Amino acid sequence: MKPLDANKPYTFSQIGKLNIASDDLLAEYGYSFSRKIIELESYTGTLDRLTETRRRIDEILFYIDLTNEAARREVLIAPVITDIVHYTHAQLRIEYSINVSNWLQGNLDYFLKTQTNLLVVEAKQEDITKGFNQMAVEMISLDLWEKTPAVELQPVLVGAVTTGELWRFGTLHRQSKHITQDLSLYRVPGELEMVERILSAILINHKDTFSEGVTEG
């Protein structure tokens, strides 16, 4: 039995609830999949909000229960996203609706745009594996979207999926139609600086933002 029903439409959020292996799911869209260490470039400029953002997150974590998505979104994800807009001057769209096809439609949680596009997806129910599948399908939608820069201008699309506390990155090589899941996980607030430097580099240095390292596992 095929993972997706050819006669049924799917939204991004519905894809994020399906219990399907990543390679099987992405094969339905004509894309291949692998897991590797991805050496993402790190922005080397000054992060003038970093100390204050870390202080605010550290302080509020003593007083809030992060058992629901709204709390994680407001306390952990939103401060990172707004910092990135400050550093990169990216245009930000929240719950941005796109419709490419019956299998590629819905709302992008956070869509940031400079000369390049960056996608950030909140993993529902703290399930970063299913959240990655949702993010990968959303990257496919951007690959095929008429408003995305041409392949020669942005040969690789980058996305991040996060529970708020955990962040994982992925890439889509547009010419080869190959999606790579980064084996590394970054934790916030402990690795807040690394997360913000990676996100900023993607939007500021729109070419050659990373290279792929040696496969592990």
CB contact burial 132-160 (16+ within 10 A = b; e otherwise): bbbbbbbbbbbbeeeebeeeeebebbbbb
Average pLDDT over residues 190-211: 82
Report all structural domains of the chain as residue ranges with CATH numbers, in order of start: 31-211 (3.90.1570)
- CA trace torsion 23, 26, 32, 34 (10° rounding): -40
User: Is residue 213 pLDDT above 80, yes or no?
Assistant: no
pLDDT tens per residue, range 75-85:
999 999 999 99
Instruction: Evaluate if residue 88 carries a pLDDT over 90.
Output: yes
Q: What is the pLDDT of residue 206?
A: 54
What pLDDT was estimated at residue 174? 97
- Site of tokens 């430097």: 197
Question: Does the pLDDT of residue 211 top 80, yes or no?
Answer: no
Q: By the 8 A CB rule, do 191 and 50 touch?
A: no
CA dihedral 187, 66, 123, 101 (to 10 degrees): -140
- The pTM of the full predicted model, rounded to 2 decimals, is 0.91
User: Which three-class secondary structure state does DSSP give residue 133?
Assistant: helix
> Is a pLDDT exceeding 90 seen at residue 195?
yes
pLDDT digits (tens, 9 = 90+) for 6-65: 999 999 999 999 999 999 999 999 999 999 999 999 999 999 999 999 999 999 999 988
| 94-153 residue pLDDT tens | 999 999 999 999 999 999 999 899 999 999 999 999 999 999 999 999 999 999 999 998
